[in-house]
Structure 1
Amino acid sequence: MRINRVASLCLALLLAGCDQSAPEQKGFAGLGDQAAQFTPVVPGRVFSFPSDHGAHDGFRIEWWYVTANLKDPQGNDFGVQWTLFRSALKAMSQQPGWGNQTVWLGHAAVTSATAHHAAERYARGGVGQAGVNVAPFEAWIDDWRFASQAQDPLSDMQLSARDQSFAYQLHLTSSRPLVLQGDNGFSQKSEQGQASYYYSQPFFQASGTLQIDGQIYTVSGPAWLDREWSSQPLTANQTGWDWFSLHLDSGEHVMLYRMRQKDGAPYLTGTWITADGQAQTLRSEQIELVPQDTAKVAGRSMPVRWTIRIPDKQLDISLSALNPNAWMNLRIPYWEGPVRVSGSHGGRGYLEMTGY
């Protein structure tokens, strides 16, 4: 949702770790804090591309989030994650140099059935270490890159990251339209009105190479891009989320998220995406999302198998984690990894769980 990866999770409030005097954050990683000085998210925005692929000054948090479900020629399954977060320290137009009030955070990970590796990078804005350019499109932090030379960036992309235990270089292509989530891109996160602007490209096809623990694999498979920006996507009562992106073998796609609360029922919604890219918002009463088996991961009990029913779409499926130990042991830890889909529909996808 990434909320990317919500992403995965927004770095915004990693910044509590950059300032020892920062107050205790409210909601998951501070995402429920008041942000009155920043630009609010309101219904009715008219999106403009390619400019909306770039950064949005005035909003507090933002992310570019990619996941890929990959196979090698022998049928082995892998997952890849790449996320760039932008967090504004102040609501102002960003200046070049060290006076810049933006902090950038990168997350990258690879997962197989037996291994999971994650890494993070930090950068201050304004000095060239990280950022986003619109034309030609490039999002980067250090040598991690998500870039395109195409006039329509989302038609042809290059994605790369590396760390001590892993590396990947992927080529992503799509001829399908992107998808505006929620109400024409206005994605509500609570009954109180917290929201983000949110669009996706769920139709990417990826191919390239992946390296884990010194072993190199040739891989291919579907990939998913999430783009979100906001200033306060959670309430102080919300503790985290469970986010799903699913590539069904029928050609359809599903995005769901459940925003858990300290008190009361979770806020649940999603999107059903047809094979030709038509999107329909799913209301909570249309969705049955139930955690099933749990696993002990990093001292926490994590739901690594779920059932999902959407009767209106004749969907009745089980999701199981490719690797239950896909724990992102980073500054703000969370669970993120590929899942397998079985039942009325086959497929694969990604699951992110935060705030546990």
Structure 2
Amino acid sequence: MKVDFRLVVVWLLLMLSGCEQSGESPQGFAGLGAQAEGFEQVKAGAALRFPDDHLPHPQFRIEWWYVTANLKDQQGRDWGVQWTLFRQAMEPQNQNQAADGWASAQVWLGHAALSNENLHLYADRLARGGIGQAGVSASPFTAWIDHWSLTAPSAGSTEEAKRLGELRVRAAADGFAYDLRLHSEGPLVLHGDAGVSRKSQGRQASYYYSQPFYQVEGMLEVEGEPVSVTGQAWLDREWSSQPLAADQRGWDWFSLHLAGGDKLMLFRLRSDTGQPFASGSWIAADGTTEAIDPSSISMQELEHQRVAGRKLPVSWRLQIASRNLDLEVTALNAQAWMGTSIPYWEGPVRVGGSHEGMGYLEMTGY
């Protein structure tokens, strides 16, 4: 009997998803609250190293390379682009003993999306590690799955390689494609405590850094029509073995570009048994970063809509008392549902209130 390998991978990923809808297993979104015995754990005080930490960490269970872009075309229309590569280890392995070929324990998943006010197009791709179908390599930096890629145009200078100063982002699927060039003079941003981002009152944490200063130019293709765009982009890098506690079902995560060049990263993790766990970073235009005191964070849901059969908050009031920040954040397209093998909501947002701006919102576990 011939077995479709991609269906096997989908089955594995769904098994890891924790059966959120049925409530059979209290493991949170995508199984990220499950115990992770044998995998490496996040350690407080561990120093991140660049460019080494742009590469995979196979001794950890999960990690991702995540790009979101807020763009405008020549007619002034708003667009959003997402490009994501996930790595999932099916079993623990030592970094120095990583198996190649079909013996590799790594599964790769790619997501790509294109949104505006009236449409949301998305696609996903699945791959097995070790056989050249997906991966991340250095000199120059390249992350890929099939023909989708996130690449540095050349090895570049040491400083440019450390901050991922130049990248090209490409993907193509039914009905849409994009080819974007990203440039940043800004530094990498370490979230939490020097890159160790706590996710609960317990021991759950991840290593987490961003490059939020990209300026973008490039082309979209929408149902065969070319569209020239410019804008801003944000790269997130995160890895962990158990980023959620068992009672945490999912998260609401914001990355916002504010007028004047300041940035804001903010998230909350929702719990079945207690109050949400909130965290964030204030990123000044010069790259100076300050962890936000959770006691000063207020995240209020303002408006809900039915999306893919779920009731989702698509308008928010975000307040940070320590910065006199009072924002209203609204989805550009409330129906930006990623109906992928592990489904979630992800799309561009507009920002008003005490500051104007734009950004991205991700909501999981609904």
TM tier, smaller: over 0.9
The whole-number CA distance in structure 2 between the counterparts of 1:238 and 1:18 is: 17
Stretches of structure 2 that go unaligned for 5 or more consecutive residues are: 1-8
User: 2:186–2:213: 8 Å Cα contact kept in structure 1?
Assistant: yes
1:295 aligns to 2:305 (yes or no): yes
1:120 aligns to 2:121 (yes or no): no
Match of 1:175 among 185, 190, 206: 185
Equivalent in the alignment of 1:61: 62
Note the C-alpha offset of 1:16. Answer: 4.1
Post-superposition CA distance 1:93-116 (Å, at most 9, x none) = 321111111000000100011000
Equivalent in the alignment of 1:335: 345
Q: Give TM-score scaled by structure 1 length.
A: 0.93
The whole-number CA distance in structure 2 between the counterparts of 1:264 and 1:195 is: 18
The whole-number CA distance in structure 2 between the counterparts of 1:317 and 1:325 is: 22
The whole-number CA distance in structure 2 between the counterparts of 1:288 and 1:228 is: 24
Stretches of structure 1 that go unaligned for 5 or more consecutive residues are: 1-11
Equivalent in the alignment of 2:145: 141
Equivalent in the alignment of 1:266: 276
Equivalent in the alignment of 2:3: none
Q: Give TM-score scaled by structure 2 length.
A: 0.91
Note the C-alpha offset of 1:287. Answer: 1.1
The whole-number CA distance in structure 1 between the counterparts of 2:223 and 2:352 is: 30
Q: CA 1:286 to 1:350, structure 2 compared with 1: closer, same or farther past 3 Å?
A: same
Note the C-alpha offset of 1:24. Answer: 4.9
Alignment of 1:213-228 (within 5 A): 213-228=223-238
Alignment of 1:1-356 (within 5 A): 15-17=12-14, 24=25, 26-92=27-93, 93-148=97-152, 149=154, 150-151=156-157, 152-153=160-161, 154-356=164-366
The whole-number CA distance in structure 2 between the counterparts of 1:298 and 1:216 is: 29
Give SS of 2:246's match: coil
User: 2:14–2:342: 8 Å Cα contact kept in structure 1?
Assistant: no
The whole-number CA distance in structure 1 between the counterparts of 2:220 and 2:132 is: 27
Deviates more, 1:165-174 or 1:279-288: 279-288
Post-superposition CA distance 1:213-234 (Å, at most 9, x none) = 2222100111000000100000
Give SS of 2:59's match: coil
The whole-number CA distance in structure 2 between the counterparts of 1:296 and 1:212 is: 26
User: 1:245–1:254: 8 Å Cα contact kept in structure 2?
Assistant: yes
Q: CA RMSD in A?
A: 1.8
Paired residue total: 344
Note the C-alpha offset of 1:165. Answer: 1.2
Deviates more, 1:23-32 or 1:170-179: 23-32
The whole-number CA distance in structure 1 between the counterparts of 2:224 and 2:40 is: 45
Residue identity matched to 2:12? L
The whole-number CA distance in structure 1 between the counterparts of 2:258 and 2:337 is: 25
